[in-house]
Amino acid sequence: MIIEDDQNLQEIYKINFEVQGYEVDIQGDGLSGITTVVEKKPDVILLDIMMPNMDGFAFLRAVKENTSLKIPVIVCSNLSDKATYDKAITAGAAAVLLKVDYSGKELVQKVESVVSAYNTANTGTLA
Amino acid sequence: MYSYIDFSVACLNIILAILLLVRHRKKTMMQYLAFFCFSVGAWAFFVAISIHKTTPVDYINLYSKILYLFGNLVGVTFLLFSILMSEWAKGKKKVLTIITLAIISFLSFLYIFTGYVVTGAEIKEASKNIVVLLFHYGPYKIFFDVTLWASFLVALILQLAYVYKKIKSPYSHTITWYTLLGTYTCLVIGGFTNVVLPIFDITEYIWVGPASTVIWVGSILLGTLKSEVFGFRTVITELFGVCLIIFSLWFFIASLGEDVFPLALGILIFNMTASYLSVLSVRKEIETKHLIETQAKKIEEANIRLKSLDKLKSEFISLATHQLRSPLTVIKGYASTLTDGVVGDLTPKQRDLVHHIYTAATGLANVVEDFLNVSKIEQGGMKYAFALVDVREIVKDLSSDMKIIAEDKGLRFESNIDENNVYTIEGDSTKIKQVFLNTIDNSIKYTKEGFVKVSLSQNALDKTMKFSVSDSGIGISEETKQKLFTKFGRGSAGSTLNTGGSGLGLYLAQAIVEAHKGRMEVLSDGEGKGATFSVYLPLS
């Protein structure tokens, strides 16, 4: 699931993930993300921070408090300050990525490595 | 014995009068307050001397007349003071002075040279502690009573009106309340014992009136102190000075005609000078203190403004960086999607062009990153995550990556990395890697042909490691070396080479290295002769 308000980025990510065989669901802000995450149960969530209606942090808080879902959430933002980083990690993000550093393909690769590390850590199985 | 009390109180009042005159020489209102004090003091003095045991009987008549004169003047001067305080007489100072002089002359004549009000006094009884007098009045004794009470009454009305209207005066209301309270308390006490009782021929208590004026003196001093917080030291210094002068004066007078006269004169002059100078210096000090306080307040306000400006600036930079990065992400996203053939293949030429778009966008993103870092450093907000870092690993990784880029450009890439020692430092691995990367990248950028050599070594003696990159590039002139590490400072040859970048790389690199307690060095034989950049860091 990709929670991102920039329509261009929505298209770029969707194309790149789908070409690798993933099923992609796009949500435009935290609010619609919250209402659909329980029903869709994605394997990973890519979360932007700066969004209207409900920002990334509010989404993270809402997921933590209202669901018992254990899904890796990767914060993808163009904010690079330490405060944002710390806040995201404390709120339970699996990783924090700076969007502008990655090309489409690189992002997919990075997400894949974060997810496998997360799954290893959480199920205790040897990859 | 009671006469001594009154003598002391008389002194007190006279000292206060002198103090007020010394301090507020230029303010007419305060001058009149001083006259009032003086009148009170003089009155107290003459009461004292009248009831004093050793006063010759012949003088008692005269002293009683003078006593009543000053008693009347007490009322008159207080009224004049209140008139000045209420600002009725604004601009009419000359008139007021003439009126004052006229009144004083008239009253002096009336009391001393005629018997219309008081004719004298006689001793009723004399005991160990006191001489009780019986006053003899003239036909117009009522004049005294009326003028005294009327003066105080009108004065009271004026003062209350002043407080009510809150006329802006340099003296705060504190002094007014204290004057009011002090004066009228004394008036009540003194009026009773010195005016009312004698009507019934009870004159044993006339010493109480003057003695009670100590309340009035105290209230004036308290009012002055309270309304001028810093005035405390000045008042004490002045008080001390005045007392010193009075005693020296007394000594001087007592020594007239004696051998110690020159000494007494010398002491008097010395004390007067010393007191004057010390009062001046204390005043100056207080003034300076005041000035410093005002300045400190101004600085505090300026500081608050600066802090909020700082905050605004960093918020702006945060926002700007984010807004610049968003479209760059989109450009890179689309460009890479095209070159990766995700939406269909491009011809090699097309792919090449689109890749340039990608590289340019990456370059711009780096520039934004540089600006952000520079502003962080300048605001002291650059945060480092120190940990134990294996520098050799970083250098090896970078070398293998940069080797490809260098060879792509047709350059020879060599690396000379010491495998025999430990290269652990305490530092921020991301930032150190950035510094090394920038250095190697610079060399490759500014070398058209030849080689780029990376080496890592250490100096066991001072426990430092040295990372250096040598190249056969365009070199650096002496004058360029000076401004190389400054912001936007590039070599002259460098500016003709369109190398992109922000011109901030070396400035940032040096800042990071210095934060790691290291230093950066550049060596070059001149333009066209290549260069060597070295980073020295302390080993942990």
Give the global pTM.
0.53
Rg (CA), chain B: 47
* pLDDT one-digit tens code per residue, B426-440: 888 888 988 998 889
pLDDT reported for residue B224: 65
DSSP string, B422-480: --EEEE-HHHHHHHHHHHHHHHHHT-SSSEEEEEEEEETTTTEEEEEEEE-SS---HHH
Which whole-number Å values give the CA distances from B314 to A84, B365, B396, B438, in the listed order? 14, 19, 37, 25
The first and second tokens of residue B94, run together, are 């000359």
Chain A contact for B311 (CB, 8 A cutoff)? no
Residue B479 has pLDDT above 70, yes or no: yes
Q: What is the Cβ-side half-sphere exposure of residue A86, based on CA atoms within 13 angstroms?
A: 5
Q: Compute the mean pLDDT over every residue in chain B, rounded to the nearest whole number.
A: 82
* pLDDT one-digit tens code per residue, A23-80: 999 998 888 888 888 888 888 999 999 888 888 898 888 888 877 778 889 999 998 8
8 Å CB contact of A50 and B332: no
Residues of B whose CB is below 8 A from A50 = 322
8 Å CB contact of B342 and A16: yes
The first and second tokens of residue B463, run together, are 């426990």
Residue B489 has pLDDT above 90, yes or no: no
pLDDT reported for residue B371: 84
| Nearest one of B388, B442, B454 to B417, comparing CA atoms | B454
Which whole-number Å values give the CA distances from B339 to A107, B75, B331, B355, in the listed order? 15, 106, 12, 7
| Choice among A44-58, B61-75, B167-181 with the minimum mean pLDDT | B167-181
Mean pLDDT throughout B330-354? 91
Chain A contact for B374 (CB, 8 A cutoff)? no
Q: Compute the mean pLDDT over every residue in chain A, rounded to the nearest whole number.
A: 87
Residue B270 one-letter amino acid: F
pLDDT reported for residue B305: 93
Q: Are residues B480 and B525 in contact, defined by beta-carbon separation less than 8 angstroms?
A: no
B90: left (phi over 0), alpha (psi -120 to 50) or beta: beta
- When pLDDT is cut at 50, 70 and 90, the band that residue B498 belongs to is low
Residues of A whose CB is below 8 A from B383 = 82
What is the C-alpha to C-alpha distance for residues A72 and A93, in angstroms, rounded to an integer? 7
The first and second tokens of residue B151, run together, are 């003066």
Percentage above 70 pLDDT, chain B: 90
Picking from A50, A82, A100, the nearest residue to B329 by CB comes out as A100
The first and second tokens of residue B387, run together, are 């940990």
What is the C-alpha to C-alpha distance for residues B98 and B85, in angstroms, rounded to an integer? 18
What sign does the dihedral B188-B192-B193-B195 (CA atoms) show? positive
pLDDT reported for residue B230: 47
Q: Give the 3-state secondary structure of residue B471.
A: strand
What is the C-alpha to C-alpha distance for residues A11 and A41, in angstroms, rounded to an integer? 21
- Count of other CB atoms within 10 angstroms of residue A90: 10
Chain B contact for A86 (CB, 8 A cutoff)? no
Considering A42-46, B178-182, B419-423, the range whose residues carry the highest mean pLDDT is A42-46
8 Å CB contact of B325 and A99: yes
Chain A contact for B342 (CB, 8 A cutoff)? yes
> Which residues on adjacent β-strands are paired with residue B108?
none
| Nearest one of B436, B24, B511 to B227, comparing CA atoms | B24
Which whole-number Å values give the CA distances from A32 to A52, A59, A61, in the listed order? 11, 10, 15
pLDDT reported for residue B329: 93
Residue B245 has pLDDT above 60, yes or no: yes
The values of phi and psi at residue B220, to 5°, are: -65, -45
Picking from A12, A19, A78, the nearest residue to B334 by CB comes out as A12
CA distance B423 to chain A (A): 28
Q: Which of residues 20-49 of A touch B (CB under 8 A)?
A: none
Top pLDDT among B217 and A19 is at: A19
What is the C-alpha to C-alpha distance for residues B431 and B410, in angstroms, rounded to an integer? 29
Residue A127 has pLDDT above 60, yes or no: no
Residue B446 has pLDDT above 80, yes or no: yes
CA distance B509 to chain A (A): 19
| Choice among B50-59, B144-153, B513-522 with the minimum mean pLDDT | B50-59
Mean pLDDT throughout B463-478? 89
B220: left (phi over 0), alpha (psi -120 to 50) or beta: alpha
Percentage above 90 pLDDT, chain A: 39
Residues of B whose CB is below 8 A from A82 = 383
pLDDT reported for residue B494: 52
CA distance B322 to chain A (A): 6
DSSP string, B83-104: HHHTTTTTT-HHHHHHHHHHHH
DSSP string, B171-203: S-HHHHHHHHHHHHHHHHHHIIIIIIHHHTT--
